[in-house]
Amino acid sequence: MQSIVSFIHQSYILLGLNISSGAEVLFDERPKINKKELFDREKEVEEILLNLNRPLLVITGIRRIGKTSVMNVALNESKIPFAVLDCRKLKENYSRADLYRVFSEALSSIVDKIKDILARIKGINILGNSIEIAWKGRYFVSFSDLFYHLNERRLVIALDEAQRLRGPLSKEIRDAIAHSYDYNRNLTFILTGSEVGLLYEFIGVEDPNSPLYGRYYHEIKIERFDKEASMNFLKKGFEELKFDVSEDVLEKIIEIFNGIPGWLVFAGNYYYNKKDLNEVKEIAISIALQEIKHFIEEKRKQSTIVARRYENVLRCLAKGFNSWSKLMRCLENSEGSSISTSVLDNLIKHLEKMSIIKDYSFLDPIYLEASKRL
């Protein structure tokens, strides 16, 4: 699903809104990069720092919870060179060229720190501040070989939204990470994921055939803000904007967005510009609805029946059919036909793996409202 940052930028541009910037760090919608920009995540940052000596860390949490910000701040605090791969750039059936492009972009960001290592690898071209990695031909560079060479220096390799690596090349990547886990003591891998079940599936938590199966990883779970933290976050954000907001408005924002930092940032920016809480909620719902529709359209490429069933299940859940039997009854009424138990089980399981629902409830209240409008 497309990230909130791109949706917010598009929405702000279309609506002629001013995005907070400069000293107003809390309501800057971009991922945070240093400690002074981050709010109330000291414990999570410290947990990452204390475990960076391990070969594999996993950071999980629902969309918009701030995983990338926490990771960025921790890595910058660590002073260890790091490369972050933005796996969101990968299509569902990505090619080898796509994957190597993402690796090339990530390593280009630290080329000044590892240029001497890269220069000795046949198959890697250094072009100023960017690099190209050969993904086929005589000088093809395998991931295992790349990691072997990078092990010459202490380095963290972070794969942001790593569940997007699922696909035809996933085993090759896992093989390389598993080999590095065992032999490359200077490398630490961090995998983040907002579709938590799919991330576990990529790692192979329950798959004995996965090369990472049985290997210990330290998991840091990023939770939503509680009511008190949400209130303090909003107050501080509006103070940075030198903008007075009543307690009632703050309470309502917290009620609508339920402690999800990305939505609180969105609400702060939007309310500052438009000062209408109904508009804040409506534009948030429209963003979530676009994300859900994008998910359904991706399913439609596989099967129109599957896409329709996901749409109906989400709509039924949004109407409050919050048990297996109630959901089955609603789905069969929507479809106008009987549905096998395995079909419904698979639909529920996949929505849970994507961290859209848990125990028949939406994890994001805005997704709940958006699903009512399908």
pLDDT for residue 92: 84
Fold annotation for 41-221? Rossmann fold (3.40.50)
Reduce the DSSP state of residue 343 to 3 states and report it: helix
pLDDT tens for the chain, 374 residues long, are 544 444 444 554 444 455 444 446 899 999 999 999 999 999 999 999 999 999 999 999 999 999 999 999 999 999 999 999 999 999 888 999 999 999 999 999 999 999 999 999 999 999 999 999 999 999 999 999 999 999 999 999 999 999 999 988 999 999 999 999 999 999 999 999 999 999 999 999 999 999 999 999 999 999 999 999 999 999 999 999 999 999 999 999 999 999 999 999 999 999 999 789 999 999 999 999 999 999 999 999 999 999 999 999 999 999 999 999 999 999 999 999 999 999 999 999 999 999 999 999 999 999 999 999 99
Distance of alpha carbon 267 from alpha carbon 16, whole angstroms? 16
Q: Widest CA span of the chain, in angstroms?
A: 66
Distance of alpha carbon 42 from alpha carbon 67, whole angstroms? 13
**Alpha helix (H) residue ranges in 94-213:** 96-108, 111-118, 143-150, 170-183, 196-203
pLDDT for residue 24: 65
pLDDT for residue 45: 98
Domain with CATH 3.40.50.300 in the chain: 41-221
Domain with CATH 1.10.10.10 in the chain: 288-374
pLDDT for residue 275: 80
Q: Are 152 and 118 in contact (CB under 8 A)?
A: no
Q: Are 75 and 156 in contact (CB under 8 A)?
A: yes
Fold annotation for 288-374? Arc Repressor Mutant, subunit A (1.10.10)
pLDDT for residue 4: 44
pLDDT for residue 23: 44
Distance of alpha carbon 364 from alpha carbon 94, whole angstroms? 28
